[in-house]
Amino acid sequence: MHEAGLRERKKAATRLALHEAALRLAAEEGLDRVTVEAIADAADVSRRTFSNYFSSKEEAIFYGDTVRLRRMLELIRDQPADEQPWTVLSRAAEALTIEVYGELAPTWLAQRRRVRRHPGLLAHHVAAYTTVERELAAELTHRLTGPEVALRSRVLAATCLATLRVALQQWIEHPDGPLLDMIRTALAEVRPTPGTPGPATGPG
Amino acid sequence: MHEAGLRERKKAATRLALHEAALRLAAEEGLDRVTVEAIADAADVSRRTFSNYFSSKEEAIFYGDTVRLRRMLELIRDQPADEQPWTVLSRAAEALTIEVYGELAPTWLAQRRRVRRHPGLLAHHVAAYTTVERELAAELTHRLTGPEVALRSRVLAATCLATLRVALQQWIEHPDGPLLDMIRTALAEVRPTPGTPGPATGPG
DNA sequence: AGCAATCTTGCGCGGCAGGCAAATTTGCGC
DNA sequence: GCGCAAATTTGCCTGCCGCGCAAGATTGCT
């Protein structure tokens, strides 16, 4: 069995090249000044080939997020089946953050900041997260007991992903300190861990 | 000051007509068999006017959700400033559900079920929720104390909206029992209320 | 080398977002 | 009522996009 044949490696390279070109050009020129054709040209493929990989330039821009979230699914599967669900999610999120922190170079941060100005992209960012939401919920189903497992696993998946998304957005906008701290604070706001001093929520 | 001049009322009526036409036609014919022009025709306006109201047919389809979420913002503002944030959110969500439960006629449910088959629409559903997310976060800012208020209010807003969205989706797919029950269960999963028996989370 | 499976590319069609300006409708003071 | 200014609708138009299709190029296996 092949780890990765030439075919697969070429496809992955093309996909990545398209993603990077899309993000870079959108940051440099502004989203609406960049055509799909320009992205394809920058990645040395035809416009038609772009469509074979992504259904829109926005999807191409957020491909990196998709990859990272799929990696998080693996990190979840690697954990013992009898852990508390939220513990599993938190650990996976923190491990992922540490893993990819190096790849989040200043260039990446700057590009994401510029791209952020386009309000329409918010929806597509969220869309990337929603794509894996069902897979994540399916993974959590096995780790829940009690009634309403279907609903509750979906709620857990959705809230966890929403929390990570917001933490990332906040860090992109105001990166004071490590991303990991921000993710921990965000996760703690949803599920205060015993031992971590929970934040005061509300006057009084 | 006018409650609503003729101008405003006409605009609201047109917007609503376009929304209803979009949802109905998408449910009947399938999203990709419905053109913007067809929606505009059904609402007795020109295709160009459609674009004055919505930037895509998907946005038109989920306009109803947008309206309901804005109503929820009002319900939040109406509550005392010294309540616990999550309590405020829960009360508003439940009040909203009760308010609009009558309007969620069987027709609406059937339409939403048919429309749900189009996987691409998921992203647009989420987009509708994300649009109000920042407004909701801003509203919560005043109700939080302690450090990292900006981050934490956004996390609360995002998790609350994600929970409501998932509960609604689950109910659309499997409406066993009142929507209100499902919303309560979903809210309880993320913030177990003292007094409500929390669900067993994990084996053991 | 040869063959089948897969991927890339060019072409073309229906559709869509949105700028622009003319025509219509509404609001308001008189 | 009347007429004017502001707002809205509409038609026209342009560039762009998603995707079906089929021909050509590349890869994998024997």
Whether residue A102 is found in the same domain as residue A158: yes
Neighboring chain A residues of B83 at a CB cutoff of 8 Å: 202
Neighbours of B148 (CB within 10 A): 18
Q: Which of A82, A86, A130 sits opposite B122 (nearest CB)?
A: A130
pLDDT band at B195 (very low <50, low <70, confident <90, very high): low
User: For residue B75, what are the CA distances in angstroms to B159, B164, B171?
Assistant: 18, 15, 22
Whether residue B113 is found in the same domain as residue B71: yes
Mean pLDDT, rounded, for A86-112: 93
Q: Which of B86, B145, B159 sits opposite A159 (nearest CB)?
A: B159
Among A20, A38, A56, residue at a domain's last position? A56
Mean pLDDT, rounded, for B121-126: 95
Mean pLDDT, rounded, for B28-35: 96
Neighboring chain B residues of A189 at a CB cutoff of 8 Å: 151-152, 155-156
Whether residue B134 is found in the same domain as residue B179: yes
Whether residue A83 is found in the same domain as residue A163: yes
Mean pLDDT, rounded, for A82-103: 93
Flag whether B42 is in a domain.
yes
What's the pLDDT tens digit per position in A2-18?
456 767 899 999 999 99
pLDDT at B193 (0 to 100): 64
A1-15, A155-169, B10-24, B112-126: which range is least confident on average? A1-15
Whether residue B144 is found in the same domain as residue B70: yes
Burial class (CB within 10 angstroms; exposed 0-12, middle 13-18, buried 19+) of B94: middle
Mean pLDDT, rounded, for B15-20: 98
Higher pLDDT, B179 or B102: B179
Q: Rounded to 5 degrees, what angle do the CA atoms A34, A171, B71 make?
A: 85
DSSP letters for A37-62: HHHHHHTTS-HHHHHHH-SSHHHHHT
Q: Which of B123, B131, B154 sits opposite A166 (nearest CB)?
A: B154
Whether residue B67 is found in the same domain as residue B50: no
Neighbours of B107 (CB within 10 A): 11
- The tally of CA atoms less than 13 A away on the side-chain side of residue B147 is 7
pLDDT band at A199 (very low <50, low <70, confident <90, very high): low
CA of B17 to C1' of D5 (A): 29
Whether A1 has a pLDDT exceeding 80, the answer reads no
Q: What is the mean pLDDT of chain A?
A: 92
A15: which nucleotide lies closest, measuring CA to C1'?
A: C7
Flag whether A44 is in a domain.
yes
pLDDT at B196 (0 to 100): 56
Flag whether B199 is in a domain.
no
Flag whether A81 is in a domain.
yes
Flag whether A90 is in a domain.
yes
Whether residue A84 is found in the same domain as residue A14: no
Mean pLDDT, rounded, for B158-175: 97
Whether residue B160 is found in the same domain as residue B66: yes
Among A56, A71, A90, residue at a domain's last position? A56
What's the pLDDT tens digit per position in B68-77?
999 999 999 9
Neighboring chain A residues of B180 at a CB cutoff of 8 Å: none
Residue closest to C19 C1′ by Cα: B48
CA of B40 to C1' of D20 (A): 27
Look at chain A and report how many structural domains it folds into: 2
**Domain with B135 in it: what CATH number?**
1.10.357.10
Q: Which positions on strand D lie below 7 Å from a protein C-beta?
A: 7-13, 15-21, 27-29
- Contacts for A118 with CB less than 8 Å, ≥ 6 apart: A26, A30, A31, A32
Mean pLDDT, rounded, for A27-39: 97
d(Cα A152, Cα A40) in Å, to the nearest integer?
42
Nearest to A203 by CA among B76, B82, B149: B82
Q: What is the mean pLDDT of chain B?
A: 92
Residue closest to C10 C1′ by Cα: A48
- Token pair 């001093």 in the structure block, residue: A197
Neighboring chain A residues of B174 at a CB cutoff of 8 Å: 150
CA of B41 to C1' of C15 (A): 16
pLDDT at A201 (0 to 100): 54
Mean pLDDT, rounded, for B156-174: 97
Neighboring chain B residues of A86 at a CB cutoff of 8 Å: 201
Task: Give the percent of chain B with pLDDT over 90.
Answer: 85
**A6 CA: distance to closest CA in chain B (Å):** 32
Output the six-digit token pair for B36. 């913007």
CB–CB contacts below 8 A, A to B:
137
Whether residue B46 is found in the same domain as residue B80: no
Whether A93 has a pLDDT exceeding 70, the answer reads yes
Whether B204 has a pLDDT exceeding 50, the answer reads no
pLDDT at A204 (0 to 100): 38
pLDDT at B5 (0 to 100): 74
d(Cα B148, Cα A191) in Å, to the nearest integer?
16
Whether residue A33 is found in the same domain as residue A68: no
Q: Which of A155, A166, A204 sits opposite B158 (nearest CB)?
A: A166
d(Cα B185, Cα A65) in Å, to the nearest integer?
30
Query: Is there a contact between A82 and B147 if contact means CB atoms under 8 Å apart?
Result: no
Task: Give the percent of chain A with pLDDT over 70.
Answer: 92
pLDDT at B1 (0 to 100): 40
CA of A39 to C1' of C9 (A): 16
Mean pLDDT, rounded, for A46-67: 97
- Token pair 């954990």 in the structure block, residue: A79
Flag whether B131 is in a domain.
yes
pLDDT at B159 (0 to 100): 98
Q: What is the CA radius of gyration of chain B?
A: 19
Footprint of strand D on the protein (CB under 7 A): A 2, 5-8, 10, 34-37, 47-48, 50-51, 55-57; B 7, 10-11, 14, 44-49, 52-53
pLDDT at B201 (0 to 100): 54
Query: Taking CA atoms, what residue in A is nearest to B143?
Result: A202
**Domain with A14 in it: what CATH number?**
1.10.10.60
Whether A98 has a pLDDT exceeding 60, the answer reads yes
Neighbours of B123 (CB within 10 A): 19
Range of the domain at B49: 6-56
Mean pLDDT, rounded, for B122-136: 95
Q: Rounded to 5 degrees, what angle do the CA atoms B50, B55, B60 make?
A: 70
Whether residue B34 is found in the same domain as residue B66: no
Mean pLDDT, rounded, for A122-145: 95
Whether residue B33 is found in the same domain as residue B96: no
Neighboring chain A residues of B123 at a CB cutoff of 8 Å: 123-124, 126-127, 130-131
Output the six-digit token pair for A179. 């991303």
